[in-house]
Structure 1
Amino acid sequence: MADIKVPELGESIVEAAILSWRKNEGDPVAKGETVVELETDKVNVEVASEEDGVLEAILKPAGETVSVGETIARIRSGAAGQAAQQVPNQPARGQEPTPPETKHSNAGEKGLAVESRPVEASQGKTGPQTADNPLPAALDQATAPSSVTPPTPRTPSQRRKARQADGPQATPATSAARTEVVREATAPTAPVAPGTTTASPLRPDEDRIPMTRRRQTIARRLLEAKQSTAMLTTFNEIDMSAVLDLRRRRKDQFKEEHGVGLGFMSFFTKAAVGALKAFPMLNAEIEGNEIVVKHHYDIGIAVATPAGLVVPVVRDADRLTFAEIESRITDLAKRAREGTLHPQELQGGTFTITNGGVFGSLFSTPILNPPQVGILGMHAIKERPVAVEGQIVLRPMMYVALSYDHRIVDGAEAVQFLVKVKEMVEDPETLLLEG
């Protein structure tokens, strides 16, 4: 017998959600074959069997949260190809059990089928509230159609006399019973815990979709970024003529020599590194009352995936050539969309670049990726009329945005950082010297 346990998932990741089981109980499994896929806050992780055998038991169903080191399934060794015997009437894991053929079930004893008996009216107590008996017994019987006599119309004087006659005839026991019935029928629902919301009824043209673990993490981190930082954004525009001309002249040769295309990301990564060297506070983070200034340049590149936004990191970008940057970005983006990134590849970035231009965005305000204090936003390239040496000409222009944490980065510093990026991209030769 061998256990399948939740493996180490990376720095600071201590739990995951079971996304799906690739095998069912009783299925044969081979050594190295994927048995279950886990979803963490950042990436999906496939867990394989360490030996041949049969999946004896699934201990945690899909959707459940599990911790690192926790046993989630058991493999019976040396029995590959032999299906495990199913217990009669035992439902497969993940399927709803078939209820026993009884008219009623006792709500107080979950899983035990017992015959319910009607509550006697003479008991003076309310029965359990079940699907077959949605109202308290006393209230149900008091309002049953067989016990209700249609009222006879009365004049105002007759109604007054009736109220006077009813008063003395009412006994304390009767009043107490009536009060108890009304109290149970009108009892308020349990209070909702702070920070939670109750599910509202859906219209026929609406769907309710649970948030994935990754989407919950994205939502939480973006909200934390807005609440825990003094975020401000500055903007500028870049004339992309020189970069476009360089790519047009060199892209074929570059592709032939390096096996990867010459894109825009390598230019902006190099320009960001050069600007970070000139303005190091954008490459820092806050720890308590101290500022940690980093002199290594690990640039996060935001990648949109079907499961949500992820930010893999290009390590030591200052030491890489254009071809190496393009190659690493291409590889990271591909594996991000396939969901095969390692958790370590998403950690430790010092600065982030996001390119909304690939989706047609002309102008946006990027949100910080804490604990980083700066993020550079690229946008779509559009021809616009601009003034050049007293003449109105059409140029391919890109708006760029820099969001920064104003707690440690002043406005003047942020503006100069973005101007530095602009100058280097507009004169790509400087990237070889300063990037």
Structure 2
Amino acid sequence: KVDSEIPTPVPGTIVELLSAEGDTIEVGLPIAIIETEAAGVAAPPAEKKEEESVADKKRSAEPPAAPAVKSTAPKSTGDRFYSPVVMNIAAENGVSMEELETITGSGINGRVTKKDILAYLKTRGTAPARQPAILSFKAGEVEVIPLDNMRRKIAEHMIHSKQTSAHVSLYTEVDMHNIFRIRQRNKTVFKKQQGFNLTYMPFIVEATVKALKEYPLLNAQMNEDNILLKHFYNIGIAVAVKNGLIVPNIFNAEEKSLVGLARAIHDLAVRARDKKLQPDELANGTFSISNFGVYGTTIGFPIINQPQVAILGVGAVKKRPLVIDDAIAIRPVMYLALTIDHRIIDGAMGSQFLECVRDFLEQYDPEMDI
């Protein structure tokens, strides 16, 4: 995230660039050739040339002496320097300083490069795994519950997401007064016509899709060095089921009306709990929403559903004091949380998207009929 201007170590003219803009260069390698004023100095006499050539050969056969380097980076007792990148990779993979010193470096003066430690980690994984400590309890103190397949898959998916995306979370509060009035006015007729209750979720999904159109980068995914920007909106709805959680999708949510979204959300929830979902309904989502507010939770920060780059968390709607026109009013308030992948979405864009969702929710006409 740093764009720095590096001054030249000597005055002169650049005569050749050895790297192109955007290239990744190993620490210590030259990036350009600079012609200095000293370049015009006359060459030594010819009779000494052969003598110096022999001396150069002898010097090249000897291993170069390592220069003394002072660094504020963590280092071993042998004063071996490690770059921040190498240290971060070591920390993430539990590589101790003692273990780091055993790695043979291919960089300048034997320095361990990023490639060196990544190559080491590949072979390190083939070593026998350290056996966990044996725990002992008295009879009846502990019940052993084996992980079922769903819980195991959830665990793997969540760990993979945390190791893949740079999670950053934001939240805002939403005045749900207008939507509350819409529900109150329409809930009886809606229940009679549709056979289920009108909830806040279709409003939230509709507002989210509108906001995604304004900020399309949140409807994307990472693919190695590319960003895949999707122009369709398959919204995943997290549904709690027995012993787990699944996220079926509302496909092409942008094409559905508010009532159509309500039907789709209800249908997915019912079929998810009855184990009647089709496998393709759990794939190809572009953005997910987790509604933990149904259990009364005020706020939470969900983990991104890979390979997506953002997820919205919905808290419970509760009455709270709000300042409106310099007066305190009691309003139904909901907290919305957004978790973004900081690799491609910055805090500014995440905040703008979240406020865009809030604006759409607060702008519903309280007199509208459904």
TM-score under structure 1 normalisation? Answer: 0.53
RMSD of aligned alpha carbons: 1.8
Matching of residue 291 in structure 1 with residue 227 in structure 2: yes
Matching of residue 276 in structure 1 with residue 212 in structure 2: yes
User: Secondary structure, in 3 states, of the residue corresponding to 1:214?
Assistant: helix
Matching of residue 412 in structure 1 with residue 345 in structure 2: no
Q: Kindly indicate which of the two structures has a greater share of residues assigned to strand.
A: 1
Amino acid at match of 1:261: N
The aligned counterpart of 2:239 is 303
Deviation at 1:324, TM superposition (A): 1.7
What are the superposed Cα offsets for residues 81-112 of structure 1, whole Å, 9 maximum, x if unpaired? xxxxxxxxxxxxxxxxxxxxxxxxxxxxxxxx
In 2, the alpha carbon distance for the partners of 1:199 and 1:404 equals: 39
Q: Which among 356, 379, 382 is matched to residue 315 of structure 2?
A: 379
Over 3 Å counting, the alpha-carbon distance change for 1:429 and 1:292 in structure 2 is: farther
In 2, the alpha carbon distance for the partners of 1:429 and 1:392 equals: 22
Q: Which among 335, 352, 357 is matched to residue 399 of structure 1?
A: 335
In 2, the alpha carbon distance for the partners of 1:234 and 1:343 equals: 32
What are the superposed Cα offsets for residues 208-266 of structure 1, whole Å, 9 maximum, x if unpaired? 11101111110111111111111101110001110000110112222333334321110
Q: Which among 320, 323, 335 is matched to residue 256 of structure 2?
A: 320
Amino acid at match of 2:288: T
The aligned counterpart of 1:228 is 164
Alignment of 1:140-219 (within 5 A): 193-194=128-129, 197=132, 200-203=135-138, 204-219=140-155
In 2, the alpha carbon distance for the partners of 1:289 and 1:228 equals: 14
User: Secondary structure, in 3 states, of the residue corresponding to 1:210?
Assistant: coil
In 1, the alpha carbon distance for the partners of 2:298 and 2:344 equals: 28
What are the superposed Cα offsets for residues 398-427 of structure 1, whole Å, 9 maximum, x if unpaired? 111000001111111110100011011111
The aligned counterpart of 2:359 is 423
Q: Which among 239, 256, 267 is matched to residue 175 of structure 2?
A: 239
Gaps of 5+ in 2: 1-126
Over 3 Å counting, the alpha-carbon distance change for 1:414 and 1:199 in structure 2 is: same
Amino acid at match of 2:250: V
8 Å CA contact 1:351–1:372 kept in 2: the answer is yes
The aligned counterpart of 1:55 is none
Gaps of 5+ in 1: 1-191
Over 3 Å counting, the alpha-carbon distance change for 1:305 and 1:195 in structure 2 is: farther
Alignment of 1:342-381 (within 5 A): 342-381=278-317
User: Secondary structure, in 3 states, of the residue corresponding to 2:335?
Assistant: strand
Over 3 Å counting, the alpha-carbon distance change for 1:199 and 1:358 in structure 2 is: farther
8 Å CA contact 1:232–1:404 kept in 2: the answer is yes
8 Å CA contact 2:237–2:290 kept in 1: the answer is yes
Over 3 Å counting, the alpha-carbon distance change for 1:210 and 1:367 in structure 2 is: same
Deviation at 1:196, TM superposition (A): 5.5
What are the superposed Cα offsets for residues 40-77 of structure 1, whole Å, 9 maximum, x if unpaired? xxxxxxxxxxxxxxxxxxxxxxxxxxxxxxxxxxxxxx
8 Å CA contact 1:271–1:421 kept in 2: the answer is yes
8 Å CA contact 1:285–1:371 kept in 2: the answer is yes
Q: Kindly indicate which of the two structures has a greater share of residues assigned to helix.
A: 2
What are the superposed Cα offsets for residues 12-32 of structure 1, whole Å, 9 maximum, x if unpaired? xxxxxxxxxxxxxxxxxxxxx
8 Å CA contact 1:356–1:377 kept in 2: the answer is yes
8 Å CA contact 1:260–1:326 kept in 2: the answer is no
Alignment of 1:246-257 (within 5 A): 246-257=182-193
Deviation at 1:270, TM superposition (A): 0.2
8 Å CA contact 2:238–2:248 kept in 1: the answer is yes
Amino acid at match of 2:129: P
Amino acid at match of 1:264: Y
Identity of aligned residues (%): 40
- Count of matched residue pairs: 240
In 1, the alpha carbon distance for the partners of 2:272 and 2:198 equals: 20
The aligned counterpart of 1:16 is none
Deviation at 1:201, TM superposition (A): 2.8
Over 3 Å counting, the alpha-carbon distance change for 1:346 and 1:196 in structure 2 is: farther
User: Secondary structure, in 3 states, of the residue corresponding to 1:318?
Assistant: helix
Amino acid at match of 1:281: L
The aligned counterpart of 2:275 is 339
Amino acid at match of 2:363: D
Deviation at 1:307, TM superposition (A): 2.6
8 Å CA contact 2:178–2:365 kept in 1: the answer is no
In 1, the alpha carbon distance for the partners of 2:148 and 2:128 equals: 22
Over 3 Å counting, the alpha-carbon distance change for 1:194 and 1:406 in structure 2 is: same
Q: Which has the larger radius of gyration?
A: 1
Deviation at 1:323, TM superposition (A): 1.7
In 2, the alpha carbon distance for the partners of 1:368 and 1:195 equals: 30
Amino acid at match of 1:242: N
In 1, the alpha carbon distance for the partners of 2:226 and 2:245 equals: 30
Over 3 Å counting, the alpha-carbon distance change for 1:313 and 1:215 in structure 2 is: same
